Structure 1
Amino acid sequence: MNTTPPSADAGELRRHLGLFDAVVIGLGSMIGAGVFAALAPAAAAAGSGLLPGLALAAVVAYCNATSSARLAARYPRSGGTYVYGRERLGEFWGYLAGWGFVVGKTASCAAMALTAGSYLWPEQAHAVAVAVVVALTAVNYAGVQKAAWLTRVIVAVVLAVLAAVVTACLTGSAAEAGHLAVGADAGFHGVLRAAGLLFFAFAGYARIATLGEEVREPRRTIPRAISLALGITLVVYAAVALAVLAVLGPDRLAHSAAPLAEAVRAAGAPSLVPVVRAGAAVASLGSLLALILGVSRTTLAMARDRHLPHPLAAVHPRFGVPHRAELLVGAVVAVLAATTDVRGAIGFSSFGVLAYYAVANASAWTLTPGEGRPPLAVPVVGAAGCLALALALPASSVLWGAVVLAVGAAVYGLRRVTAARR
C-alpha cells in the first residue's frame, strides 16, 4: 500500500486508522456525555416508559448503523450520508443530509462543551466550554492519529466510571425492581419522544463513516467497526439505564440535573460522586473530540463539491487534516458554547441527525444485492423510525429543525438558480 503523504493540492486524507481505532472513535462518540445528560429528559418525556424508549432507539440505531455500514463499504470517502445521498438519490438529498448533519452536530458540539464546563466549574461553565473547544480543536488539527490516541484514554476512563455506577447502584439497598415496571404514565407518544431524545446519545457511529478516507481497508473495516461500536454501546447504555432507574425511579430521575451522580449518592456511595462528575466531564470531552472530527470531515466533503466555500476543502500538507474546516468548526462551536445552553441543543441535534439517517436509509434501499444491500426491512424500518422519532420530539425542536432544513434547501435552490444564470 502506498503511504506517501499526498500533497495539499490533492485534497486527500491519509489512511492511518485500523479496526481498533475506528471502534474506539465510534465509542468515544456514543459513550460520551449523552449517557450522562439524556436519561433525565427521556424520563421526563416517558416516565416509566424510559426503557421501552431506549429499546426503540436501539432498534432505529441498529437499522441506521446497518444501512450506513453497507453504504460506507461501497463509498469509503469522507462525508458519510452526504456522499451516499448524492450518489444514490441525487445531489439535493445528499446536500440536505450534509446540511442537517453539519448544523445539528455543530449545536451538539456546543452542548458537549457546556456539559464539560458545567461539571468542571459550574460557575464559569461558558468560559470553560470555550477553552475546551479551543484545546480539542488544536488536538484535531495536529492529526487524526493523535485524536484517536486521546479518544482511547477517554473511552477507558468513561467505561470505568460507568462500571462503578452500575455496580454501586445494583449492589446497594436502594435499588427497587418496582421502579422498572412500565406503568400507565408511559403513553405511546411519550415513549416515542423518549426514544428520539435517547437517540441523541446513540448517533456517534456516523463518525466512523465520515472518516472513510482515513481508515485502512475501509470496505472491510468500516462495517465491522460500526457494528462492534454500536453493540458495545447498547450493552453499556442498557446497564446504566436499568441501574439508575432502579435506584431513583422515573419521577426522581426526570427532575435530576445530574442523574448518575444522584444515583450513586442514593445508593449509599457518596464517595463516588466526584468520580462520576469527573467522568461526565471526560465523557463530554470524548464526545466533543469525535464530533469535531465528524463535522469537519463532512464540511470538507461539501466544500469539495462547492456546496460550502471551496477553500474549506484544503488539506494540511504536514498533518493531513482538513485544517481550514476544523478551524471554522471550532470557531463556530466556541461562539455557540459562549452563548447557548445545554438542554435546548439535545432535541435540535436529534432532529437534524434523524433527518440525516432517513436519507441514509433511503440511500441503502437503492442498493442492489450485488452492491451489498441489507435486507429490505432494515432501511424501511430505519427510515420510518427516523421520521417517527423526529416528529415526536418537543415542538420547539421540530420547529427549529424544520426551519434549518428549509433554509438549507433555499440556499441550495438559490445557488442552482445563480449557477444557471451564469
Structure 2
Amino acid sequence: MTQETLQQQQQQQVLTVRGVNLTVEGGRQILHNVHLTAKSGSMLAVMGPSGSGKTSLMNLICGRRPPSSTMDGEILLNNRKVTSRMRKSFGYVTQEDVFFSQLTLKQTLWVKLPSSMTAKDKEKRVNEVVELLQLTKCLDTKIGGMSDQGLSGGEKKRANIACELLRNPKVLLLDEPTSGLDSSLALKLMEILGRWVVEQSSIVVTSIHQPSSQTFHEFHELLLLADGQIAYSGRRELMVEYFEGIGVPFHKHWNAADFMLEVVKESSQHKAHILENGRQFAERAKQEQQQLASASASQVHLNLSYQADAGSRQNGLAGLDEGSVRIRFTSPDFSPQAAAAAKLQDDSEGVHLVPEVSWWTQFLALSYRGFLVSREAILSVQVLVQTAFVAFIVSVLWFQVAKTENNIADFISAVSR
C-alpha cells in the first residue's frame, strides 16, 4: 500500500446517523427513526418543509439536544460513537449570525486562532479563508449591527462560515446557510463550499429550505424529511427516479427541489404513501449500515426495490413490479494498515481531531476581544477628561486630611468616590 493511499484513508471520514428518535418535553416526537450517511468529499442536503425537524437533526449531531428531551439511536464517525471531544472538531454554522458589531472582520477571525500560531501563520491562515470565501475586500470593515453600517447580509453569512473554516474541520454542519440570500449569492456560496469539501476531503451537511435548481445540483446526497420522518435518502440524481418508481410522477418543467417539497405537503393519503416507502427505505438502510460496520470490502452495493401494495394501486399510485434503485455506499477501509494510519493521527479515537485550545489561550483571546469591543468607550477623550476632572475635585476636597481616627469617615467617602 502506497503512502498516498495511506494518507487518503487517514483523511477519509464517514458520518453516520442510525435510527435516531427525538422526543421533547410533553411527549411530542420530533424525529422518527432517521438515518443519514455522509462521507468525505461530499455535500449532503437535509431538506423538508418548515417544522420537519431539519434544525433538530443538526443540533443533535452537534450534541445540542434540547433540555428535558429524550433521544435514542446512534451518531457515529468512522464507526465510532461521537464523543464530546470529537464534537469539538465539528464546525457548526447556525442560522443566526452572532458577532461583535464593533470588530472588523480581520479582528473577528484573528482572535479565534490559537496563540501557539505565529503572527505570520495567523495572517496566512486568515488570508486563505477570506480569499476562499471572497471576503478579501472586507477584512478591515466592521461587522456592523442594527444601527451601525458594516458587512452586508451575504458577507455576514460568509463571515460566519469563515469563523468555522479557520479550524479546517473535517465535518462542517450548516443550518440554513442560504437564508436571506438571493439565488445568485446562494449558488455562489454553495459552489465555494463544493470546491472546499473536495479539496479538503471534508464532510458538509447542510439544512436548506428551498434552493434554486442550480443550487440543488451542487449537492451530492439528499435527505428529505417530512414530519420528522424520512421521505427520501440517497443520491441527489436518483431522487426523481425513486419518486416515479413509487408512483409519484415528476413534473418535467418543475425545479426538482420544489417538486420534492410539494409532494410531501399534498394530501394526507399521498403523504402517508410516501412516508411508508420512506420507512421501508430507512429499515433497509439500517440493515445495510450494520453490514457496512463489519464489512471488509471497500465498496458494497445496496439494491432497494420499492413495491407498491395493492391498496396503492387502487388509489391510482402505480407501483414497480420489477424495478429497483441502485445506490452505492462507500465504507471506510478498516484494514490493519488504515488502522495504523489512524492511530498515528489520534490514539484515542482513530479519527481526525482538531487540536484543542488551552484554557489560558481562550482566556487571553476573550480578554483581548473584550478590550477591542470596549476600547472606544475606555479610551475616548470624553471618558479620560471626565475621569481626570473627578480625580482633581476629589484630590482638592480631601487634600492634606489628617490621618486620625476622627477622619475615618472622610477617607471612606473619598475611596467610595
Whose RCO is larger (CA < 8 A, sep 6+)? 1
| Higher percent of residues as helix | 1
Fold-level match, TM-score > 0.5? no
Higher strand share: 2
Q: TM-score, normalised by structure 2?
A: 0.23
